[in-house]
Amino acid sequence: MTDEDSYAELERLDTLIFEAREKASLSVSSVINACEVLSRTLNECDHLHLLLDTGMTENKARKELQLVKQILSKEYSENRIKTELGTPLGCFTPYGENISVRQEWKPLGVLLHIAAGNVDALPVFSVIEGLLTGNINILKLPGNDDGLSVLILQELIKIEPLIAQYVFVFDYPSHNVEAVKKMASASDAVVVWGGDSAVSAVRNMANPDTRIIEWGHKVSFAYVSDNASDNELDGVAYNICDTNQVFCNSCQGIFVDTDSFDEVVSFAERFLLILEHMVESMPNDNDPYLSAQNTLELYTERLESAKYRKRVFTANNCSVIAYDDMTLTPSYMYRNCWVRPLPRGRLLAELCQYKNHLNTAALICNERDKDAFETLLSKTGLVRITNGKRMSEGYCGMPHDGEFSLRRYMKIMSYED
């Protein structure tokens, strides 16, 4: 589409949306079927290169392609809907009344997806969630979009042409406030992916009558108490290498249940060996720009360690920095993590400050302490407790940031006689 066409479509968006609302003939089962057909079409021979082009290693690309195939499959979609929406609502007589009531899940109507470019093909998965819940979708592509999303949408439309009436894609930059406002005012809800600044911008831009569904940036870590086995720490190292620490559920660093800096230091030395071993078995592309950045960061940390209480341990293509404070920070990413003290007695007070920015904790502790730690960690903003290896692995029906996404894109209609 040319810029002029796109502008003309934006000008007519209200009319187009209204027409789509009126027609509204796309069933959820035809969306599920279209996804299933696409899932079966995807294969390594024709599609692996699309993932490799985004800079993934071959192993990672294979794994991701399998994951995409699974997520698009009919069984997955059906199971997901069942888990997220629960047992079908129906007719009943409410307590204390003698009326008959019928309740049904219905789409919110029109969703504007303001997608971030931080996860490959994220925009299209946001739209598919919108389609699975029967919504009409406006997609504002991220500034650094890799083109995968539009490609997948085009494939879906080839399989099920009706989808075209339910998806409007625009490529306006976020700083084009007028365009974004227009899209938001045509929507019942804005689904925003991104950091605090993106979320705040949408909050300021959208009218109070428009619901805002925020999928913000989060931070995750591992918590280690008592004697962690090498095997358990291998899992944490695996997550660090597998995700390069760029996801909201990637491990940024490890809190150790101690108030002794010496213990933190010896743990850091031990973990470096484990991490180094994992890095060797999961090599990354050697990007000089990335190496340069990490070198400067670690070298600066090293210079600073002359005056602050911290120790920098480096190995080939990875590092572990031991700090003496209990602050939660992002790591330098790309296989560079931190270790900090956080005695259990301080855990709640320290972590509660980060409220909704918390995501996943990998918990490594004695079996007898597990319940107590789970209770404690659940009182913070965290939404998931798992082991190191599974931190960034999902499962069908897994809540997203502590909520079922499909439910957020729907409303419960109540019909009474």
Nearest distance from C-beta of residue 267 to other proteins, angstroms: 22
Instruction: Decide if residue 297 touches other proteins (CB under 8 A).
Output: yes
What is the C-alpha separation between 371 and 367, in angstroms, rounded? 8
Q: Is-contact 239 388, C-beta < 8 A?
A: yes
Site for other proteins in 134-173 (CB under 8 A): 143-144
Task: Give the full edge-to-edge strand order of the sheet including 410-416.
Answer: 91-92, 101-107, 410-416
Q: Is-contact 239 250, C-beta < 8 A?
A: yes
Instruction: Decide if residue 346 touches other proteins (CB under 8 A).
Output: no
List 288, 368, 375, 417, residue binding other proteins (CB under 8 A): 288
What is the C-alpha separation between 295 and 293, in angstroms, rounded? 5
Helix axes 58-72, 44-52, angle to 10 degrees: 120
91 vs 303 by CB, closer to other proteins: 303
Concatenated DSSP letters of 100-163? -EEEEEEE-SEEEEE--TTSTTHHHHHHHHHHHTT-EEEEE--TT--SHHHHHHHHHHHH-GGG
176 vs 231 by CB, closer to other proteins: 176
List 53, 287, 403, 416, residue binding other proteins (CB under 8 A): 287
Site for other proteins in 222-251 (CB under 8 A): 245-248, 250
Amino acid at 285: D
Instruction: Decide if residue 117 touches other proteins (CB under 8 A).
Output: yes
List 354, 374, 393, 397, residue binding other proteins (CB under 8 A): 354
Instruction: Decide if residue 323 touches other proteins (CB under 8 A).
Output: no
Q: Is-contact 388 251, C-beta < 8 A?
A: yes
Contact segment (CB under 8 A) with other proteins among 72-80, 117-125, 204-212, 383-391 equals 117-125
Nearest distance from C-beta of residue 150 to other proteins, angstroms: 17
260 vs 291 by CB, closer to other proteins: 291
Give contact residues for other proteins (rule: CB under 8 A).
116-120, 143-144, 193, 195-196, 216-220, 245-248, 250, 252, 287-293, 295-297, 299-300, 303-304, 306-307, 327-330, 333, 353-355, 357
